[in-house]
Amino acid sequence: MTAVKEVVRRPLGHFAERSIAGLVAVVGAGVAFGLLLMLVRFRWSPLQHADHEAAEWFNGLVAPHHALVTVLQAITDLGGRPVLIWLVSVAVLGLLIRRQARLAVYLIITGVGGLILDPSLKTLVGRLRPVVDVPLASAPGNSFPSGHALGSFVAYGAILLVFLPAMAPRWRKPAIAVAAVLVALIGLTRIALGVHFVSDVLGGWLLGAAWLGVTAYAFRLWRRERGRPVPPLTEGLEPEAGRDIAPAPAEEHVLEHPRSAVAELLVGWVLVFGALYAFGMFVSYHAKDTFLGTLDTGVPRWFADRHTDALTDLSWWWSKFGDTHAILLVSLVFCPLVLAVWRRWRPVLFVALAMFGELTLFLASARAVDRPRPPVENLDGQMPTSSFPSGHIAATICLWLAIALIVFPRTDRWWRWIFVATAVVMPVGVAVSRMYRGMHHPTDFMGAILLSALWIGLLYWVIRPNADLAEGNRPAIESEQVDELDDELASAGRPD
């Protein structure tokens, strides 16, 4: 029994002696949160009065300004569960690819703990959300503590502690400052939008600081007991992993001649727009008596005559694969994984420019051509853009074609053909669904193909996204090593 007490006392003694300031901060945050929880739970009148006064003041300040509300809603989304879960999940997968399983386990435990604490404490306290004169946003569940404040503090703080070693020393303090400002802004938006009281947000920050501190210092304690040096937290959790988790440690220049590349892309963009404008004006206003005009008249009517409830539901889902949210989600998953596996920024730049160029070309040509929608029932209702070219189809082609062009030459495994098939099936499915729903003519589909082929071809020629392959670059993890990730994750989670 004495031996057991000594084993427990020794690491705790090291923890208290060498991290006393951090320990005090963690304990202080925990005590402050506990005190605030009790005041909220027992409805202390001065705190309730101050919370309601602040809620009314913020509502009167923000409600008349619609542009400000839009900005606040965009910022508050950065602290929502979808964004935070995506961020942590991609970071965990990237760490596993770079064989940093201990850091991946740390992110998993810290993130899951934050997800558990939020709803359980909300249920325990049972505080209702503010009621304001002009509701600006809505949120389910109870009010204390703020899940956005708690989640953003934990997620952004944990990711910062993990990836600080990958940054140059001069960028670490600015990165900490940016994360702190972002967390503060997310908390303030919850108050300004009227979905949380001030004490809800303060409670979320305090609980987030306590939980993040507990997990961070537990990780540091684990390092001490295994004889590893424990630097200040401003250097991150595992400084020796800095080069391994750096995005592109061996890449000196993203582009060899960036100025000429920018000039080529600008000139190319203008030429692509010119081709789109010429084709769009012809098929929209001068091709009535041609085969293309007959096609544009007959195909929408053919689809309209064959509407059924089942096909309409299916077309709605297929159409969603080409909308902004789906395209953005796939891009935000694919690009970090490419960076983790191949350690080069150029393929990421290729995908980003593919999507940015598609969006700008689509908006410019749609505005210039201003083609009406087909003269059939438009199942999606009134749209803010015109018919030519199809933005859904063009975005789908550009995204999946860019992905296939990056993945196919980088592996000799059979599954690379899946990306080639997807680059064909996804655009065709979206195109059929858009025409079925009466939103586009067949030549709008042709315009999307023209846009994608010209823009992706130009980008491939200028950016050369696979140039690192000629230099002998190898992936951080080979495809046959994927099965080893589970074993590494399991071993990192077990105590030594």
Lowest mean pLDDT among 169-178, 215-224, 449-458: 215-224
What pLDDT does 5 receive? 42
In the chain, the percentage of residues whose pLDDT exceeds 70 is: 91
Mean pLDDT of 58-75: 86
Taking residues 446-456, report their average pLDDT.
Answer: 95
Q: What phi, psi does 459 have (nearest 5°)?
A: -60, -40
Task: Give mean pLDDT, residues 371-386.
Answer: 86
Q: What pLDDT is attached to residue 277?
A: 95
**What does the pLDDT look like over 253-296, one tens digit per residue?**
778 888 999 999 999 999 999 999 999 999 999 888 899 889 98
Q: Would the pLDDT of 487 be above 70?
A: no
Q: What is the pLDDT of residue 19?
A: 55
Residue range 109-131: mean pLDDT, rounded = 86
State the average pLDDT over residues 58-70.
84
Task: Write a three-state SS string for the chain.
Answer: CHHHHHHHHHHHHHHHHHCHHHHHHHHHHHHHHHHHHHHHHCCCHHHHHHHHHHHHHHHHHHCCCHHHHHHHHHHHHCCCHHHHHHHHHHHHHHHHHCCCHHHHHHHHHHHHHHHHHHHHHHHHHCCCCCCCCCCCCCCCCCCCCCHHHHHHHHHHHHHHHHHHHHCCHHHHHHHHHHHHHHHHHHHHHHHHCCCCCHHHHHHHHHHHHHHHHHHHHHHHHHHHHCCCCCCCHHHCCCHHHHHHHCCCCCCCCCCCCHHHHHHHHHHHHHHHHHHHHHHHHHHHHCCCCCHHHHHHHHHHHHHHCCCCHHHHHHHHHHHHCCCHHHHHHHHHHHHHHHHHHHCCCHHHHHHHHHHHHHHHHHHHHHHHHCCCCCCCCCCCCCCCCCCCCCHHHHHHHHHHHHHHHHHHHHCCCCCHHHHHHHHHHHHHHHHHHHHHCCCCCHHHHHHHHHHHHHHHHHHHHHHCCCHHHHCCCCCCCCHHHCCHHHHHHHHHHCCC
Predicted local confidence at residue 484, as pLDDT: 54
pLDDT at site 269: 95
Residue 18 above 70 pLDDT?
no
User: Is the pLDDT reported for residue 232 higher than 90?
Assistant: no
pLDDT score for 470? 78
Residue 396: pLDDT band (50, 70, 90) is very high
Across 427-453, average pLDDT: 93
At residue 228, the pLDDT reads 75
pLDDT at position 11 over 50:
no
Average pLDDT estimate for 482-490: 51
Highest mean pLDDT among 7-16, 39-48, 457-466: 457-466
Please give the average per-residue pLDDT across 224-235, as a whole number: 74
Confidence of residue 8 (pLDDT cuts 50, 70, 90): very low
* Per-residue pLDDT tens digits for 306-346: 888 899 999 899 888 888 888 988 998 899 888 888 888 98
How confident is the prediction for the chain on average, in pLDDT?
85
Query: pLDDT by residue (tens digit) across 152-190?
Result: 999 999 999 999 888 888 888 898 999 999 999 999 999
Range of weakest confidence among 93-97, 137-141, 370-374: 137-141
Q: What's residue 474's pLDDT?
A: 72
Its pTM stands at 0.80
Q: Say what the pLDDT of residue 12 is.
A: 43
Output the pLDDT for position 493. Answer: 52
User: Model confidence over 411-438: pLDDT tens digits?
Assistant: 888 888 999 999 999 999 999 999 999 8
